[in-house]
């Protein structure tokens, strides 16, 4: 039984009449895009999988040479990337649910199958399997990237003194989004038939957001590794510095508004035409501005001053937030170091390390003045290179 269409289905079903019925259902589909290959035994199905590629498997759970769940391990072992939809009788629904728990993507009760239900189940099974395979590949790739970049960072002399702490903190920070991805993917796989469309979309959004957070964390760690290995270069271009700073302020204003903070920007002195590295400036100022907002108390003020001098430019970012304990200020610019009083405020401890590396790459420096309960002021001084 072969109909030439794009989605290739392997049907393992010993009932010839029911196999013909499924083929008829597929021909009634609104979009004819299915090729059905029918075999009557599990052994024949396993042999077929060694010779041809399939997009999905339809599996009867009662076969002459296999019964119940015993068919699943063989099929999954033979073709782990191919989604499986099991077919069951009305009184075997619990068995079908257990099959889904053990690796099948969906199940169909034979008497309840119609063309729409069949096509929808096949398509959803393929989509879910592709998502899980994609997540598995992403996780493997991320693990390799973590190992490579961690090894690169550990070679830097400055980081060697706290190697154990660095690895422990990095592993902790990357494990959280990984666990979130695995949990959401598991819910999609095991409870798909019980989830509403809105909940499915929500789980997918959680997965995307977690992957994005992992990518951002890896990029930040890579940036520090690049700086420590001497590969961070300052690329100077002409830039309207005041306009650039005002744009950054607008970008973080929404974050400030959520805490009802007043965000103030002021510019002093003559800047004139000069050369700057836009990327390094963004790393410095975005990290300092977002930190000032993050650690400010609601209804407070964050002040950003740009001061042009004869040979230097000063960026001063001040908040009246929780402040930084004196004992923490000495190690504040080291990766993964955070003050003891941050509580549940989220953060990786990489932002200030990146800001310091960026300031140094630009030929400048960054200093902090802070007092617990009073607030914090970061002052960045960079050389003014006029055109």
Convert the pLDDT of each residue in 315-329 to its tens digit.
999 999 999 999 988
Whole-number Cα distances in Å, 76 to 4, 106, 308: 26, 14, 67
Q: What is the pLDDT of residues 233-243, one digit of tens each?
A: 778 889 999 99
**pLDDT class for 157, splitting at 50, 70, 90?**
low
Q: What is the mean pLDDT of residues 360-374?
A: 92
- The one-character DSSP state at 297 is P
Unique residue bearing structure tokens 């879910």: 128
Q: What is the pTM of this model?
A: 0.48
Pair of tokens at residue 35: 């090729």
pLDDT tier, 1 (very low <50, low <70, confident <90, very high otherwise): very low
What average pLDDT does the segment 155-167 reach? Answer: 53
Give residue 5's pLDDT band: very low, low, confident or very high (50, 70, 90): very low
Classify residue 336 as left (phi > 0), alpha (psi -120 to 50) or beta.
left
Alpha helices (runs of H) in the chain, residue ranges in sequence order: 16-27, 42-51, 71-78, 93-101, 115-154, 157-160, 163-190, 197-228, 241-258, 278-294, 326-329, 351-361
Q: What is the pLDDT of residue 379?
A: 96
Please give the pLDDT value at position 101.
Answer: 87
* pLDDT score recorded for residue 3: 40
Query: What pLDDT does residue 160 have?
Result: 55
Q: Does residue 271 carry a pLDDT above 90?
A: no
Q: What pLDDT, on a 0 to 100 scale, did the predictor assign at position 94?
A: 84
What's the confidence (pLDDT) of residue 17? 92
Look at 121-135, 172-186, 296-310 and tell me which has the smallest mean pLDDT. 172-186
**Over the stretch 274-284, which tens digit does the pLDDT of each residue have?**
899 888 898 89
Token match 């802070």: residue?
370
Between residues 358 and 337, the one the model is more confident about: 358
């Amino acid at each position: 039984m072969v109909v030439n269409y794009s989605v290739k289905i392997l049907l393992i079903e010993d009932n010839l009449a029911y196999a013909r019925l499924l083929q008829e259902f597929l021909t009634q589909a609104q979009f004819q895009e299915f090729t059905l290959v029918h075999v009557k035994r599990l052994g024949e199905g396993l042999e077929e999988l060694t010779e041809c590629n399939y997009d999905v498997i339809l599996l009867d759970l009662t076969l002459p040479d296999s019964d119940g769940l015993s068919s699943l391990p063989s099929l999954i072992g033979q073709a782990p990337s191919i989604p499986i939809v099991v077919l069951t009788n009305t009184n075997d629904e619990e068995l079908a649910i257990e099959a889904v728990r053990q690796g099948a993507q969906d199940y169909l009760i034979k008497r309840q199958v119609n063309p729409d239900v069949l096509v929808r189940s096949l398509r959803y099974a393929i989509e879910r399997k592709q998502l899980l395979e994609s997540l598995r590949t992403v996780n493997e790739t991320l693990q390799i990237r973590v190992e490579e970049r961690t090894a690169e960072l550990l070679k830097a002399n400055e980081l060697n003194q706290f190697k154990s702490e660095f690895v422990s903190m990095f592993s902790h920070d990357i494990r959280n989004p990984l666990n979130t991805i695995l949990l959401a993917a598991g819910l999609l796989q095991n409870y798909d038939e019980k989830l509403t469309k809105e909940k499915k979309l929500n789980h997918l959004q959680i997965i995307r957001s977690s992957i994005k957070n992992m990518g951002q964390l890896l990029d930040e760690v890579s940036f520090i590794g690049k700086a420590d290995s001497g590969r961070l270069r300052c690329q100077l271009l002409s830039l309207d510095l005041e306009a650039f700073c005002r744009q950054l302020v607008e970008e973080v204003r929404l974050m400030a508004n959520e805490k009802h903070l007043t965000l103030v920007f002021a510019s002093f002195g003559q800047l004139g035409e000069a050369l700057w590295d836009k990327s390094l400036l963004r790393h410095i100022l975005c990290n300092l501005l977002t930190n000032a907002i993050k650690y400010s108390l609601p209804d407070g003020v964050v002040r950003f001053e740009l001061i042009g001098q004869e040979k230097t430019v000063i960026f001063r970012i001040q908040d009246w937030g929780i402040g930084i304990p004196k004992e923490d200020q000495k190690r504040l610019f080291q990766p993964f170091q955070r003050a003891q009083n941050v509580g549940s405020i989220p953060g990786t401890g990489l932002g200030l390390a990146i800001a310091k590396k960026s300031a140094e790459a630009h030929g400048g420096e960054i200093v902090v003045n802070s007092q617990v309960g009073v607030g914090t002021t970061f002052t960045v001084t960079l050389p003014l290179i006029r055109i």
